Structure 1
């Protein structure tokens, strides 16, 4: 019997007073990690990562129940109901994202069919995400991340830790790695081997992939990776649109959802054409699941931002989360003759006196450009999605004006 089988139904979840704000923050962080883990599990054929997705999915189910109970207890009059309705939408959308991530993970665990050559077609520059258990003799055990200084030395990051049933979703410099922790590592494949061995005491071997020779496979991989990136961006913008009451960000979520829908339609058409050339067409079955689950994630982003699009007042519990946020996501359009027209952006960093980081650009006639791993020159009419402090965002916005 699978060790995870039946766990989702074990243990009653009873009402207890909890901070709705804290639950919403944890649901957001969990949803973002679930998207990352599920796609990595599929693209890297990693069953261990897929099982961590199912564990997180179970955690999300509990969080969703707790949030619903607390919100129901908070409704005392029609005004409360109007303010809390969008929050319930956020809770439901996080659950939808969790379910979609679980469906993606099951592509690996249920061997439903996916070309092994997808892994071989991934770009060499793509980062690897692996799961490892901290060994007793690991040089990283019982040390903080700041002390280990892993990222600056190797480029590998610890993106999450699981300690028994407890998840540390945003480990920081002061976080201590302990023996038997389950660590999720992301970084260049060339560096992962050494870090994984130091962490676990065991060697890491990349899966041995046999290329099947399916035509246009690289294009399909590029499409699904781009869909995943756009869906992640949509979810990020959707939460930000709610937290900061930004109708502009909510409109960009809608634009992203339209783009993902169009790409999913093209992806399905490619899969059906590829089936005619595949030796075993059933191996493409998982691709249909992957495309449809990605669309569910982008649809969930729309549900998160629905309250903003319908001009409903943000509930105070969400405003409390805003007050604790150190960074914000902003949207601005570059006007003609502005100081940003013609500025070069390298790996998200604009060549101006600003601490804002550009996440994505929507360019008229070209669609979305994700700038994390590319260089681009800004143009008049570009719509920029950027992240940084409030002060930096205000200064950056003034550069975009003429």
Structure 2
């Protein structure tokens, strides 16, 4: 793995008594952030984000080595080895995801080729992800995210922090930010500029598109965004299928991979068609790389869930995660005429008397609907992926039955 100038990956890694469960959760969060940063770096032509991908890739390498050490310590018999084999496949697949994210970042860092019109083709609804260094004099410095309350005030979220070599994933209300922290902000373009300037003390200077719009390129960008979102969902469901030993979630990972493969075929066709109208077709080369890496990520998600699909018994170190976790991801089928049939879902929240968050809907004939991207209405025959507490999941499942 190549790191930005001045960085090294030769730091020795020593065994630490960390549970495999904790490592799996951290690897899952790291993989999801890697994918998010890598695609954002490409879509917004941002070299700083691309460089952060390589740093985070190094962090993932360390997590993988520690996971391998923990697995070796946990295997005390042939039956242990058999039960831990699916977990080892997770480590291998995670390495594939990490490498694919690094390859995506290198499209920007090595100037493999991206069309100037790409930024213009981004849908207005796509949120912006930016990287900023927190100024010591910032109004946000030395305060918790709960005190700042950015998301409710502006819609901008701090999705991660880097403090030196340490990454703080999924920061919460009690997380305190300090001067010199590297903050990763996601939110609407209309609001993120003011937040960035308050945080960093520097003017916000987004790259604006200056090229003509190309219809086929717009279709290609829309498709790669959908592929990116489906791949992220596949990774999330794959890890969850292992942590919760859920064969139904593992089956949906396979369904997502089939959808991504179909989208990649269309994506390549639109890129080739766009080449006919591009001033320099070579600049489209990076898009082909992007499609290939996206397929690698979805394929790796299938590898993560393979042990569940093969019905290999889950090792106790993974079962512990199920026992300790209150929030779960669940899959349910909406029966025609059930209480959920015709229920509106807005920003992931269903109009039902349960505290569940709908992540995605697979609708026969229509494919996948990512609810975060659009409001929807549940229909009979829908396969719904939702997140919430165990109690809420049981109530939600009851509403889905006729």
Give the TM-score range, shorter chain: over 0.9
- The answer to which of 374-383 and 102-111 deviates more is 374-383
Inter-partner Cα distance in structure 2 for 1:16 and 1:343 = 48
Q: Is the 8 A contact 1:340 1:399 kept in 2?
A: yes
Q: Report deviation, 1:214.
A: 3.0
Alpha-carbon spacing, 1:6–1:80, altered in 2? closer, same or farther (3 Å)? farther
**In structure 2, the residue corresponding to 1:277 is in which secondary structure?**
coil
User: Could you say which residue in structure 2 is the equivalent of 1:290?
Assistant: 290
Q: Does 1:343 align with 2:343?
A: yes
Q: Does 1:101 align with 2:101?
A: yes
1:291-370 to 2 correspondences below 5 Å: 291-370=291-370
Q: Report deviation, 1:7.
A: 3.5
| TM-score (norm: length of structure 1) | 0.97
User: Could you say which residue in structure 2 is the equivalent of 1:74?
Assistant: 74
1:18-97 to 2 correspondences below 5 Å: 18-97=18-97
Q: Is the 8 A contact 2:327 2:390 kept in 1?
A: yes
**In structure 2, the residue corresponding to 1:131 is in which secondary structure?**
strand
Alpha-carbon spacing, 1:330–1:62, altered in 2? closer, same or farther (3 Å)? same
User: Which stretches in structure 2 are left out of the alignment for 5+ residues?
Assistant: none
Q: Is the 8 A contact 2:156 2:186 kept in 1?
A: yes
Alpha-carbon spacing, 1:272–1:170, altered in 2? closer, same or farther (3 Å)? same
Q: Report deviation, 1:325.
A: 2.1
Alpha-carbon spacing, 1:6–1:92, altered in 2? closer, same or farther (3 Å)? farther
Q: Report deviation, 1:125.
A: 2.0
**In structure 2, the residue corresponding to 1:56 is in which secondary structure?**
helix
User: Could you say which residue in structure 2 is the equivalent of 1:391?
Assistant: 391
1:250-269 to 2 correspondences below 5 Å: 250-269=250-269
1:189-208 to 2 correspondences below 5 Å: 189-208=189-208
**In structure 2, the residue corresponding to 1:216 is in which secondary structure?**
helix
Inter-partner Cα distance in structure 2 for 1:3 and 1:319 = 36
Inter-partner Cα distance in structure 1 for 2:19 and 2:375 = 42
Q: Report deviation, 1:19.
A: 2.5
Inter-partner Cα distance in structure 1 for 2:157 and 2:274 = 37
Q: Report deviation, 1:385.
A: 0.6
Inter-partner Cα distance in structure 2 for 1:351 and 1:329 = 19
User: Could you say which residue in structure 2 is the equivalent of 1:239?
Assistant: 239
Q: Deviation per CA, 1:40-59: give whole Å up to 9, x if none.
A: 11111111111111000011
Q: Report deviation, 1:321.
A: 1.9
Q: Does 1:140 align with 2:140?
A: yes
User: Could you say which residue in structure 2 is the equivalent of 1:182?
Assistant: 182
Q: Deviation per CA, 1:104-146: give whole Å up to 9, x if none.
A: 1111111100112111111112111100001011011011111
Inter-partner Cα distance in structure 1 for 2:82 and 2:145 = 44
| TM-score (norm: length of structure 2) | 0.97
Inter-partner Cα distance in structure 2 for 1:130 and 1:326 = 32
Inter-partner Cα distance in structure 1 for 2:370 and 2:392 = 21
Count of residue pairs the alignment pairs up? 401
Q: Is the 8 A contact 1:115 1:212 kept in 2?
A: no
Calculate the aligned-residue CA RMSD, in Å.
Answer: 1.4
Q: Deviation per CA, 1:259-294: give whole Å up to 9, x if none.
A: 001111111122223223322111001001100110
Alpha-carbon spacing, 1:6–1:20, altered in 2? closer, same or farther (3 Å)? farther
Inter-partner Cα distance in structure 1 for 2:20 and 2:193 = 40
Alpha-carbon spacing, 1:12–1:6, altered in 2? closer, same or farther (3 Å)? farther
Inter-partner Cα distance in structure 1 for 2:161 and 2:74 = 33
Inter-partner Cα distance in structure 2 for 1:61 and 1:3 = 12
